[in-house]
Chain A
Amino acid sequence: MASSNATLRAFLYGLPGVDRVGADQRAATLGTRSIKTTAKAEAIDLAISMVDLTTLEGADTPGKVRAMCAKAVRPDPGEPSVPRVAAVCVYPDLVACAASALSGSGVKVASVATGFPSGRTSLEVKTADTALAVAAGADEIDMVIDRGAFLAGDLARVFEEIVAVKQAAGDAHLKVILETGELATYDNVRRASWLAMLAGADFIKTSTGKVSPAATPPVTLIMLEAVRDFRAATGRMVGVKAAGGIRTTKDAIKYLVLVNETAGEDWLDPAWFRIGASSLLNDLLMQRQKMATGRYAGPDYFTLD
């Protein structure tokens, strides 16, 4: 199937289309689910455990990363029942720092790689970037696809790059960032999802967070449909990561509802669904405290790491 642009095109363009208005409506309807009381409490803890706590700034320093790792392991120092997050996500040069800070904690180290965020570099650099991050201790690699090649119709190139990066990543889990904001259409999101899964992605991820729009409920819905259908077709389960723009508990819970009612409960697990975020974690903690105490929380009571 992956032998040429023609065969890939024949397959990917043979997938059912996506009607944008219908997909938007389905996502909006699921967004009206009202998750209250016990369900909300469970959802908050689940969401915390699915967070890839992320810092991807030019100004990132070892100090900043260490502080974030501490937060990842113990999000609310005053409340030991709060679960740890799933992973921290950093640039490759800070992987070693994160790995030592998280050693033995169970929190994974994820590294963006492959010339993140634009991916505009050679395959050699991309694979080297990946291999170095893994060597430095990354458990997970968040690669970007070549959107230019995808839009130019060079599907085989995108495919082969994923295969190569997967190989370079070795045992590390490979998350493939589609950058859906640059793919523009939902049809492309579906095709890119399948392309990544066929090439061996362990996860498909919406966005880098550097392009607007980043994750949206309908885009995530389409990717959840893709992993659902891919498992039905091949038996292999692929995870989904929604990244960028998810800042509130209300938003996070909407994504959990999307997962629950689209891919199903099998995906309601940090092994299969992640939320890439930074400020979201504190909002989840504030909402959690509100549920525990009955009082609205204030930001001064949560650490800014």
Chain B
Amino acid sequence: MRFEYAPAPESRDVVDIKPSYGLFINGDFVDGSGTAFKTINPASEEMLAEVAAADEADVDRAVTAARKAFESWAALPGRERAKYLFRIARIIQERARELAVLESLDNGKPIRESRDVDLPLVAAHFFYYAGWADKLGHAGFGADPRPLGVAGQVIPWNFPLLMLAWKIAPALACGNTVVLKPAETTPLTALAFAEICVQAGLPPGVVNILTGAGATGAALVNHPGVDKVAFTGSTEVGRLIARSVAGTGKKVTLELGGKAANIVFDDAALDQAVEGIVNGIFFNQGHVCCAGSRLLVQESIAEELLDALKRRLGTLRLGDPLDKNTDIGAINSAEQLARIRSLTESGELEGAERWTASCPLPDKGFWFPPTLFTGVAQSHRIAREEIFGPVLSVLTFRTPAEAVEKANNTPYGLSAGVWTEKGSRILWMADKLRAGVVWANTFNRFDPASPFGGYKESGHGREGGRHGLEAYLDV
């Protein structure tokens, strides 16, 4: 019998999207001086809201507000800062459903992920760093480590609220104030977070949210009043930022791109490896910097594994992000869809064999079906460049040493996966892989207590854990 799941949409009624949004500066929503822009639902291309754009004067106002707030915020006893962060964490939990729906609407990610992954991690991150605020003297950075000042933070569109949490929670815990710019295509949850700051009674100016495009981000990063720059996004922009802060006193942390190898040995727990591969590259439509976008499979089981993988991909459900049974949501923007298409076309042109799961795509919105390429060589663009979409490149290897060599043969070094039932081989591989996160017999796991960040061109600095404090302390 065929078991069709009826549509099971999460209700949109829990969110109340205003027709237009201003900037959040010094505790107030104010008009922006730039040209307002629209944010759309990528699953339907419907307009969600009009959002203000911050120009240089707005950036200056926000940095000034943050600077003014810094003195008293940094002087506040850690336990008091902690309580603000605990409050924020609680309000996020209370409004989790609303925020999850809002995130899925603006980003296109499946509600199952925004509800079960993003939002729980967002709240957990604030809880985690709240606890550090009054224990910084025990963190191994000296008896009384000082905050840096004003943090200018620029975040991407793939995990809008989670990236905000990764940036704001440690910054505030350490006593910094922040000016944060969410991505142009996903500003809504950051603006909802601004409301949460108000609900939490956070002093004005401690958190400022500026919406806008790349120019706003550049103005923020380059503002002389910013003491710390934190950026998550493409390596290309990360390079520009690293260049622009050269010769200044600004401290920088960068979380950039990746082209992670997910390495499957012939003795792996195959069913879990298949799940790990799926989770590695099709989680969040592959819009994940640490996505396992290169599958390195031992040649002796390549055929068996690929059959299992294709069968599994056939069960992925693509469609309405708000449907609770959706596994693959919408691509975040037309621009990103075009990039994915162009790279996959190059994959075909370069001679790799394309396989696409047969799933109908909705008429409106931005969609790309789960796709894998076999017969991929290290030299192909799809094996070297970050696609940032639901596209897996499959390569084979013969020996552990060859797997390591291929895995490390990239300018990136964010993450890697290893699948084998042999403990000593896992540890050997983990030792040899030049990547900041190694997932062994699992993939794409995140936790506020666990440091995250890359080697080489995947950026510098770590977010999460005790290590994540260093980025926001004068050490």
Contact = CB atoms under 8 A, between A and B. Distances in A.
Q: Are chains A and B touching in the complex at the 8 Å CB cutoff?
A: yes
Interface of A: 16-19, 21-23, 25-26, 32-40, 42-43, 46, 222, 225, 256-257, 260-261, 265, 268-269
Given A16-B270, A34-B325, 12 more contacts: A16-B269, A19-B269, A22-B269, A22-B271, A22-B276, A26-B271, A26-B272, A33-B324, A39-B4, A39-B5, A225-B271, A265-B2
Contacts of B271: 16, 18, 22-23, 26, 222, 225
A147 B272 CA distance: 26
A275 B271 CA distance: 24
B48 interface: no
Contact of A36 (B3, B8, B268): B8
B325 A33 contact: yes
Interface residues of B, number: 24
A22 B441 contact: yes
Given A22-B442, A43-B3, A256-B3, A34 B324 contact: yes
Given A16-B270, A32-B116, A34-B324, A22 B3 contact: no
B2 A36 contact: no
A137 B210 CA distance: 77
A39 B275 contact: no
Contact of A33 (B1, B5, B267): B5
Contacts of B269: 16-19, 22
B6 A23 contact: no
Nearest to A232: B307
Contacts of A17: 267-269, 421
Interface string B1-18: 111111110000000000
Interface string B392-409: 000000000000000000
Contacts of B8: 34-36
B112 interface: yes
A17 to B, nearest CB: 4
B315 interface: yes
A214 B421 CA distance: 27
B6 A36 contact: yes
A265 B1 contact: yes
Q: Nearest 6 A-B pairs (CB), nearest first?
A: A22-B272, A34-B8, A34-B324, A39-B6, A16-B270, A19-B272
A22 B275 contact: yes
Contacts of B275: 22, 25-26
A17 B272 CA distance: 9
Contacts of A222: 271
A32 B6 contact: no
Nearest to B4: A39
A35 B5 contact: yes
A21 B276 CA distance: 11
11 contacts: A16-B268, A17-B421, A22-B271, A22-B276, A22-B441, A22-B442, A32-B116, A34-B324, A38-B4, A261-B315, A265-B2
Nearest to B323: A34
Contacts of B268: 16-17
Contacts of A39: 3-6
Contacts of A26: 271-272, 275
A26 B272 CA distance: 8
A269 B6 contact: no
A304 B325 CA distance: 35
Interface string B408-436: 00000000000001000000000000000
A46 B1 CA distance: 9
Interface in B1-44: 1-8
B323 to A, nearest CB: 8
A32 B112 contact: yes
A40 B5 CA distance: 8
Contacts of B315: 261
A252 B408 CA distance: 46
A32 B324 contact: yes
B301 to A, nearest CB: 9
Contacts of B421: 17
Nearest to A266: B1
Nearest to B421: A17
A16 B272 CA distance: 10
A256 B4 CA distance: 11
A265 B269 CA distance: 24
Given A16-B271, A22-B275, A39-B6, A268 B1 contact: yes
Nearest to A40: B6
A284 B144 CA distance: 63
**Which of B5, B315, B325 neighbours the largest number of chain A CB atoms within 10 Å of its CB?**
B5
Contacts of B116: 32
Interface in B260-316: 267-272, 275-276, 315
A59 to B, nearest CB: 37
B344 to A, nearest CB: 26
A33 B6 CA distance: 11
A269 B1 contact: yes
Interface string B203-223: 000000000000000000000
Contacts of A40: 6
B272 A35 contact: no
A34 B1 CA distance: 19
Interface in B346-360: none
A216 B423 CA distance: 28
A211 to B, nearest CB: 25
A34 B7 CA distance: 9
Best-surrounded residue of B3, B6, B267, B325 (most CB of chain A within 10 A)? B3
